């Protein structure tokens, strides 16, 4: 009999409903979400590459077999699983099999050095590696030299490790279960794409991965019919669109890497409606001779992000490709989701709006805080800070840095931003990229945006270099468009006219290309090293 413990109060008998309430209200995990998505459209095509197609049912069956293999090889809860491969369906299978089996996934960037990969393997304590046969030599080196790596599985015959197609058992798709993880168990352990300091590995629990999927599905301006052409590495940020595409019954069409001509041809050949490009890729497409003749009529949304985009080049992209652009802003520490600038918010003739990163995504709390941890007035710069279910659990093995970054209950992004009175946020720069010259704070992005308005400029990066008079002097490094011509003096004059003498570069260097981080950002750490030398001190 039910018991009353006071006026109008109900208490369930012990051992019945009360004990089940925790399960009743337990949040959905990322692993559960993936399993449910694959069950919805069993006969549709989930992945396509080079004429090969995998149905949702086939993907579920492969996942079930890979999970069974990992468990049979002794995977324990929390064990690390690494992936080293260009784009192919197996990348997503491996990164998903890791949390489904109770482990955690770590990406090894295909462009990384042996030292980078060794560091990640040992720091992240990766026991198992999934590797494309093209990286068989690297896999052998890692198996020999990385203390933690016990087994290598390859996506085909490779002469090292075991071919996953042979090693994994055949399992019926119905055998794919939701996995043992709870909402706070770590599903992904990802190294940041930052350009300063020791590599930081971000611990993303299952609840953050779920928020990532919902944030992308609701907060990014995605088409209803989704044929996602993925050319950027799905082992990294481009993978954020896979589950939202599958949730809508769509297809992920994979290219092994980015080539502007191949991307243009791929949009047409595969009738792609959705893509994700970093700004440097957009610039390459705009500068490619095949653009004007390409059939991009099916392209409904091009997501872009990972680094600031030149507003003038974005306006050019809208003119030549169409009003299809939607910006994403976030960082690994908050599962990649913070704000977005929807297609309808891209006001073609308003460069200030095109410089904005938009408004907060549903489910994310954003504040611009000053040095006193109080919100700054609209229009004033401060650090953009984030709260929500997508925020990381912390940095792997770095408790002090975790405490600093999550101080006061906010994720401190390190990005300087202003909030307009219209509610749109604009990232001014990274805190660490700010130049202090003659006592003035100078934000390089403002100068880079002006330089990029020059018709001959393809890309620009601005840094501070040592100067006996000013402490730091503003230097611009400029990449010209093919066939473009410009003089240093006219670029300096352009900035002086638009921004004033303080922001005007003291020098301009023309370069063939800018060094990039693995996620496509201008690597200012490398650029500064050319002028500051090997010392750690970056002030003068």
pLDDT digits (tens, 9 = 90+) for 224-274: 999 999 999 999 999 999 999 999 999 999 999 999 999 999 999 999 999
% of the chain at pLDDT higher than 90: 75
Give the start-end residues of each E strand in 237-381. Answer: 251-254, 274-277, 301-304, 325-329, 339-341, 359-360, 365-369
pLDDT at position 540 is 37
pLDDT digits 0-9 by tens, 113-143: 898 899 999 999 999 999 999 999 999 999 9
pLDDT digits 0-9 by tens, 428-443: 877 777 787 766 778 7
Can you read off the two tokens belonging to residue 315?
């306006």
pLDDT over 50 at 90, yes or no: yes
Ramachandran region, residue 383 (left: φ > 0; alpha: ψ -120 to 50; beta: rest)? beta
Put simply, whether the predicted model's pTM sits higher than 0.75 gets the answer yes
Question: What is the C-alpha separation between 86 and 483, in angstroms, rounded?
Answer: 32
pLDDT at position 376 is 96
Secondary structure (DSSP) of 443-456? -HHHHHHHHTTSTT
pLDDT over 70 at 399, yes or no: yes
Question: What is the C-alpha separation between 466 and 483, in angstroms, rounded?
Answer: 32
Question: What is the C-alpha separation between 356 and 345, in angstroms, rounded?
Answer: 9
pLDDT at position 517 is 75
Give the start-end residues of each E strand in 37-143. Answer: 45-49, 52-55, 80-84, 104-107, 126-131
pLDDT at position 499 is 85
Alpha-carbon torsion, ordered 342, 348, 349, 351, to 10 deg: 50
pLDDT over 50 at 12, yes or no: no
pLDDT at position 13 is 45
Q: Domains in the chain, please, with CATH?
A: 56-205 (3.40.50.980), 434-532 (3.30.300.30)
pLDDT digits 0-9 by tens, 293-338: 999 999 999 999 987 788 999 999 999 999 999 999 999 999 999 9
Can you read off the two tokens belonging to residue 154?
């390859």
Question: What is the C-alpha separation between 327 and 340, in angstroms, rounded?
Answer: 5
232 DSSP assignment? S
198 pLDDT band, cuts 50/70/90, is low
Nearest-CA neighbor of 531 among 511, 501, 502?
511
Segment 88-111 shows an average pLDDT of: 96
Q: What is the mean pLDDT of the chain?
A: 90
Compare 128 and 532 and report the one with higher pLDDT.
128
pLDDT at position 197 is 47
pLDDT at position 536 is 37
Question: What is the C-alpha separation between 329 and 424, in angstroms, rounded?
Answer: 12
């Amino acid at each position: 009999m039910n018991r009353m413990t006071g006026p109008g109060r109900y208490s369930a008998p012990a051992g019945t409903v009360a004990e089940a309430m925790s399960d009743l209200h337990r949040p959905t995990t990322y692993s559960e979400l993936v399993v449910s998505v694959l069950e919805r459209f069993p006969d549709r095509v989930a992945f396509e590459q080079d004429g090969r197609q995998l149905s949702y049912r086939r993907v579920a069956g492969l996942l079930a077999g890979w999970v069974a293999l990992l468990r049979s090889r002794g995977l324990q809860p929390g064990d690390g699983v690494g992936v080293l491969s260009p784009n192919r369906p197996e990348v997503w299978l491996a990164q998903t099999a890791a949390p489904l089996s109770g482990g955690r996934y770590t990406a090894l960037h295909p462009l990384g050095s042996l030292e980078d990969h060794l560091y990640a393997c040992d720091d992240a304590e990766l026991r198992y590696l999934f590797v494309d046969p093209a990286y068989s030599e690297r896999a052998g080196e890692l198996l020999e030299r990385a203390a933690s790596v016990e087994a290598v599985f390859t996506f085909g015959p490779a002469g090292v490790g075991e071919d996953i197609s042979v090693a994994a058992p055949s399992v019926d798709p119905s055998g794919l279960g939701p996995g043992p993880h709870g909402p706070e168990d770590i599903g992904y352990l990802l190294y940041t794409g930052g350009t300063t300091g020791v590599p930081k590995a971000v611990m993303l629990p299952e609840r953050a991965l779920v928020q990532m999927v919902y944030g992308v599905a609701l907060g990014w301006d995605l088409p209803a019919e989704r044929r996602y052409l993925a050319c950027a590495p799905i082992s990294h940020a481009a993978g954020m669109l896979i589950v939202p595409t599958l949730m809508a019954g769509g297809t992920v069409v994979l290219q092994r890497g980015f080539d502007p001509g191949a991307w243009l041809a791929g949009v047409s050949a595969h009738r792609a409606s959705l893509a994700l490009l970093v700004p440097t890729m957009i610039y390459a497409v705009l500068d490619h001779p095949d653009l004007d003749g390409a059939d991009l009529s099916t392209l409904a949304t091009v997501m872009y992000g990972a680094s600031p985009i030149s507003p003038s080049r974005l306006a050019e992209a809208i003119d030549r490709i169409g009003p299809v652009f939607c910006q994403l802003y976030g960082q690994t520490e908050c599962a990649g989701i913070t704000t977005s600038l929807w297609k309808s918010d891209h006001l073609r003739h308003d460069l200030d709006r095109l410089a904005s990163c938009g408004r907060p995504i549903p489910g994310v709390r954003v504040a611009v805080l000053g040095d006193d941890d109080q919100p700054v007035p609209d229009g004033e710069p401060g650090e953009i800070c984030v709260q929500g279910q997508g925020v990381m659990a912390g940095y792997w093995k770095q408790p002090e840095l975790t405490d600093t970054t999550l101080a006061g209950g906010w994720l401190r992004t390190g990005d300087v931003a202003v909030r307009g009175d219209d509610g749109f946020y604009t990232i001014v720069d990274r805190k660490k990229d700010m130049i202090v010259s003659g006592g003035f704070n100078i934000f390089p992005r403002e100068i880079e945006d002006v330089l990029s308005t020059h018709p001959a400029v393809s890309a620009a990066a601005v840094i501070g270099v040592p100067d006996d008079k000013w402490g730091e002097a503003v230097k611009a490094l400029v990449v010209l468009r093919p066939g473009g011509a410009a003089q240093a003096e006219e670029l300096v004059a352009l900035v002086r006219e638009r921004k004033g003498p303080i922001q005007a570069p003291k020098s301009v260097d023309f370069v063939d290309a800018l060094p990039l981080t693995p996620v496509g950002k201008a690597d200012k750490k490398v650029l500064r090293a050319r002028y500051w030398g090997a010392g750690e001190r970056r002030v003068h």
